[in-house]
Amino acid sequence: MKYTIYRWYTPVKTPQIEAIELECRGIGTEENPIIIEPSVKIPQIFFLKGSNIHILIKNFNSNKNRISINSCKNVNVEDCILKSCILNHSPHTNIRKISADYLKISYCSYTDVKDSVFKRVKIQNSTLHISFLNCTINRIRKSHTRGINFENTKILKLYTYKSIKYIFSDYKLAFVTVISVTTGILIFFLIFFYSLPMGTKGVIYPILLLGGLIFLMIFLKYISWRERKEFRSKSDL
């Protein structure tokens, strides 16, 4: 069956996209997926886009290979050594027995990663059933992400980032408590402030500002600690 992949190239300053038509085994069903394997026609850097048929990418064994899967469903990547693997807007994608320098999962769901090794992993804006089983990850960074499960997975370093929107969504009670306590402290100091002589008010301003910043930093550190504790309970971090 014929299937089209794409590659970037830069003959001029503006990057161009070239379509490459392949003759592949398989018909695109779950039982008989289209199989993409190394060949002379396949470049080291290529990507798939806009596909819902079942595809199996396998046996790419060079750390110069870079694969990107964009707006696809039902893609499996197996038995590969890669420089990078990027999943973008591609739910129901499975990765198995992969060794890669970099894995990025963005806007995905129902993604399973098994028996793989990665130097760096970045997961962002992804929810619902992102699972890692029997993996080793040197460094992982996640942001705006929920629903990640780890089983028998070793993580050496974890970095997390959450916007104020996600902080409020995940820590409603803590957020309300911090706002309430901060407001109470400010009201108390303002009452106290207006009862002071004029000469001392210039000293109180920076003290209030510094105290507020310290309080906010402590709160954000607490959130980071909670995230790490959650990851440790789900993995071998």
Among 114, 135, 161, which residue terminates a domain?
161
Q: How sure is the predictor about 218, in pLDDT bands with cuts at 50, 70 and 90?
A: confident
Average pLDDT, the chain: 80
Q: pTM for the whole thing?
A: 0.69
Going by C-alpha positions, the residue among 94, 28, 107 that lies closest to residue 58 is 94
Q: What is the mean pLDDT of residues 128-135?
A: 90
| Number of domains forming the structure of the chain | 2
- Of 161, 190, 219, the residue at which a domain comes to its end is 161
| 176 in the same domain as 157 | no
**One domain for residues 80 and 155:** yes
Check residue 116 and give its pLDDT.
97
Helices and strands (H, E) in the chain, number of each type: 3, 14
Together in a domain, 66 and 92: yes
pLDDT at 121 over 60: yes
Q: Which residue has the higher pLDDT, 221 or 108?
A: 108
90 plus 119 within the same structural domain: yes
- How far, CA to CA in Å, does 170 sit from each of 56, 89, 129, 223? 37, 24, 18, 10
Q: Which has the closest alpha carbon to 231: 158, 167, 172?
A: 158
Co-location of 110 and 200 in the same domain: no
Q: Provide the CATH number for the domain around residue 95.
A: 2.160.20
What does 169-198 look like in DSSP terms, one character per residue? HH-HHHHHHHHHHHHHHHHHHHHHHHTS-H
Q: Are residues 218 and 132 part of one domain?
A: no
DSSP category for residue 115: S
Domain shared by 21 and 62, yes or no:
yes
| Helix, strand, or coil (residue 109) | coil
Amino acid letter for position 44: Q
122 and 186 both lie in a single domain: no
- 151 and 174 part of one domain: no
* Cα–Cα distances in angstroms (integers) from residue 91 to residues 48, 137, 156, 164, in the given order: 13, 22, 27, 26
pLDDT band with cut points at 50, 70 and 90 for residue 115: very high
Do 171 and 113 belong to one domain?
Answer: no
SS3 content of the chain, % helix, strand, coil (to 5): 30, 40, 30
| Residue numbers of the domain that contains 217 | 165-234
Specify whether 92 is located in the same domain as 156: yes
42 touches 61 (CB < 8 A): no
Question: Taking residues 90-109, what's their average pLDDT?
Answer: 94
Q: State yes or no: pLDDT of 173 exceeds 60.
A: no
Residue 8 and residue 45: Cα distance in Å, rounded? 7
Q: Are residues 155 and 200 in the same domain?
A: no
Q: Which of 132, 161, 190 represents a domain boundary (last residue)?
A: 161
